[in-house]
Every structure is written in structure tokens, then in C-alpha cells.
Amino acid sequence: MIPKGTRLYSILHHKCPRCHEGSLYCTGPYQKGFTRMHEKCSQCGLQYAQEPSFYSGAMYVSYALQVALFTTVYVALRVLFNPAAEVYMITIIGAAFVLFPVTFRLSRAIYLNFFFSYDADAKNIKP
């Protein structure tokens, strides 16, 4: 159980980084429109996109997540099965493809948490 008020809570639950109440995304990760975000928090009114192309920087976070995923899959395959080289390629590309919605959304949530911190009184701010 991750306590509310930590950045990890906001990132893993896709909640507003300031109040941890409002949802970042409009749909689930494997539904149509999984990239769509709310413009602002429904609880505290925080503007999720601070400027045009705000989430371009999230590409760097996404890159780091993908490298971590590739490394994890590679090590798991190596330790458990030690398969042929083609199996590594297919499995790693498959994992990246299947988990793309998750890494995409996580990277934006992490990036947003770079700029905002939890504020317990944010719920009192009128949107």
C-alpha cells in the first residue's frame, strides 16, 4: 500500500500530483483514447499541460522506462530460459508493444511529478 502524499502514489494511481484526488487520464490504459488527459484537475484545478508541447520532455522519461523494460525482459529470459537470440528480440519487442500504453502513461505521470509536489490543502483551491 502506497501512502497518499507521496509522488509514487500520484504516479502509480495516475492522480493529480498536487492534490492526489483528480484523475490524470480520461480512460483506462487499454481502452480507445488511452493517451487522452484531462485538461485540468477536477478537484484543485491544476492545469496538466503548462504550455504547448509540455509533454515532449516525457519522451526522455519514456526512453528510460523502455530501457528498464528491455533490460528486465532480457535478464529474465537469460536467467530463466537462456533462449536463442531471435527469441530475445521477439520477446523484447512484444513486451514493449504490449506495455506501450502503460509506459506512455507512466512517463507522463512521472514527468508531471517533476514539476508539482503534493499539497494537502490543494483541495481547498477552487478550480
The answer to whether residue 92 forms part of the interface with Zn ion (CB under 5 A) is no
The answer to whether residue 16 forms part of the interface with Zn ion (CB under 5 A) is yes
The answer to whether residue 24 forms part of the interface with Zn ion (CB under 5 A) is no
The answer to whether residue 109 forms part of the interface with Zn ion (CB under 5 A) is no
Q: What residues contact residue 5 under an 8 Å CB cut-off, 6+ apart? A: 20, 118, 120
Q: Using the rule CB under 5 A, which residue among 10, 14, 19, 105 binds Zn ion?
A: 19
CA distance 110 to 62: 9
Closest to 48 in 3D by CA, of 75, 14, 71, 73: 14
What dihedral angle (degrees, nearest 10) is formed by the CA atoms of 40, 43, 44, 47? Answer: -10
Q: Using the rule CB under 5 A, which residue among 10, 22, 105, 118 binds Zn ion?
A: 22
Among positions 34-63, residues that touch Zn ion (CB under 5 A) are: 41, 43-44, 46
Residues lying near Zn ion in the complex (CB under 5 A): 16, 18-19, 22, 41, 43-44, 46
